[in-house]
Amino acid sequence: MTENNLMEKIVSLCKRRGFIFPSSEIYGGLAAVYDYGPYGVELANNIKQTWWKQMVRLNDNIVGLDSAIFMQPKVWEASGHVAGFADPLVECKNCHARLRLDHLLEENGVAADEKMSEDQIGEIFEKNKNKIKCPVCGRGNFTGVKKFNLLVKSNLGNFASDWQKEPVYLRGETCQGIYVNYKNVLDSARVKIPFGIAQIGKSFRNEITARQFIFRTREFEQMEMQYFVSPGEEMKEYEKLKKARWQFYLSLGLREKNLTWHKHENLVFYAKAAYDIEYNFPFGFKELEGVHARGDYDLSQHAKFSGQDLSYADPQTKEKYVPHIIEASAGVGRTFLAVLTDAYEEEKIGQETRVVLKINRWLAPIKIAVFPLLKNKPELVKKAKQVYNQLKVDYLCEFDDNGNIGKRYRRQDEIGTPYCLTVDFETLADGQVTVRDRDTMKQTRVKVLDLDNFFRDKFV
């Protein structure tokens, strides 16, 4: 499979089988915004639950938070987003397409990447200007480089009619909600440094170019954990966090050869270290998650802009300091796409091609599909419904009596259902059903009475 081919196949499967739909499709869609369909929402929820379990449930000193999307606009001034959260943009003078400069260079085969500073990218552009072509119209005449701010404005509280001057933004990242609640959590939960606050939620960015499906969207979900540490412990804790984050992706079943660390060479002035975990998407290795050591920048900025004391007094040593922060910042959509990319397989079976998503069993949207062998035999349908009703209490199940068994298997393979269970005429006599394994396609007979036992350890 060529890379583009694989991407096209994944996009098509997502639409056909109800994982991802373009937003407001009946109206022609909305660029870089997507909806998660019936199986998509289950898979995304499973990814989020796994993250939450590993972060919050299994770590005694990490607590959860769900902060609001709207925040006091000063937050975004303090964080530096109002002044500096911008991508370099050029406009094609011929067709007026607005293009993100680092992407434009990349598409024209000029080495540049998202981690370079704006000045570096600007210089590369100036040097190579005569060979850069617009991907929309093919001409090569561009405006100078401008900065395009990615914050999305709203008209919330538009009573004073000056919201254009002082807009309330839709948050550009979830972690700001964590920083501004640091003191609330410290004062209310029984935590001491080092401790972390974890949050999963929506973020919004006015991305210049909409491309690569759910990899880069204007509305997306982040899973972020900010860990508050004493200055001397920052780098030790950072190394621990890096290891844990790598393990998370292995635990999702991603192949290790498809993961890599990318070191940021151009650190912002306050950062101690910055690495990204990249995944080998069909369009190459790209960022899945950032793991950064941020020094005391975030809390110091919020202390300065809010006038509040955000320092921490160590109860034992009585030492007072502004905590340093290390963060793990991941995207749900990108993890979702990585899981699908890793799991997508095509197998030749005789003359046919079987498309199968070999997703970890416990991540799969549907765990067990239950079929009556024939639709028009009421006794089989009745028994199959009984089995289905018994299993659906504990597992997300699907009942399907549509089409021949082969077709039903293929459909479940495509959505990654680990087990299909068929009720046939023998079931009525011996109380056993056929359980078919997605990966091996092996079939075994299992007593209905033993099904709970059979499945007990299969999805943990």
Q: Point out which residues bind ligand ATP (CB under 6 A).
A: 114, 173, 205, 207, 216-217, 220, 222, 287-290, 329-331, 333-334
Cβ nearer to ligand ATP, comparing 54 with 434: 54
Assess contact for 434 and 422: CB atoms under 8 A. yes
Cβ nearer to ligand ATP, comparing 167 with 331: 331
* Residue of 138, 112, 136, 115 lying closest to 125 (CA atoms): 112
Least Å distance, CB 205 to ligand ATP, is 5
Cβ nearer to ligand ATP, comparing 86 with 405: 86
Burial 318-337 (b: 16+ CB within 10 A, else e): eeebbbbbbbbbbbbbbbbb
Cis-peptide, bond into residue 194, ω within 30° of zero: yes
Least Å distance, CB 22 to ligand ATP, is 15
Joined tokens for residue 283: 């369009």
The string of DSSP letters for 199-267 reads: EEEEEE---SS-BTGGGB-SEEEEEEEEEEE-GGGHHHHHHHHHHHHHHHHHHTT--GGGEEEEE-SS-
Least Å distance, CB 34 to ligand ATP, is 10
Residue of this chain nearest to ligand ATP (CB atom): 331
Q: Are strands 368-372 and 397-399 parallel, antiparallel or unpaired?
A: parallel
The whole-angstrom separation of Cα 366 and Cα 300 is 46
Phi-psi region for residue 114, left (φ > 0), alpha (ψ -120 to 50) or beta? alpha
Assess contact for 410 and 353: CB atoms under 8 A. no
Assess contact for 240 and 234: CB atoms under 8 A. no
Cβ nearer to ligand ATP, comparing 216 with 361: 216
Least Å distance, CB 203 to ligand ATP, is 7
Least Å distance, CB 217 to ligand ATP, is 4
Cβ nearer to ligand ATP, comparing 147 with 382: 147
Least Å distance, CB 184 to ligand ATP, is 24
Q: Letter for the amino acid at 344? A: Y
Cβ nearer to ligand ATP, comparing 222 with 280: 222
Least Å distance, CB 114 to ligand ATP, is 4
Cβ nearer to ligand ATP, comparing 292 with 383: 292
Assess contact for 152 and 206: CB atoms under 8 A. yes
Cβ nearer to ligand ATP, comparing 16 with 202: 202
Least Å distance, CB 9 to ligand ATP, is 21
Least Å distance, CB 214 to ligand ATP, is 7
Task: List the 397-399 sheet strands across, edge first.
Answer: 397-399, 368-372, 419-423, 432-437, 443-447
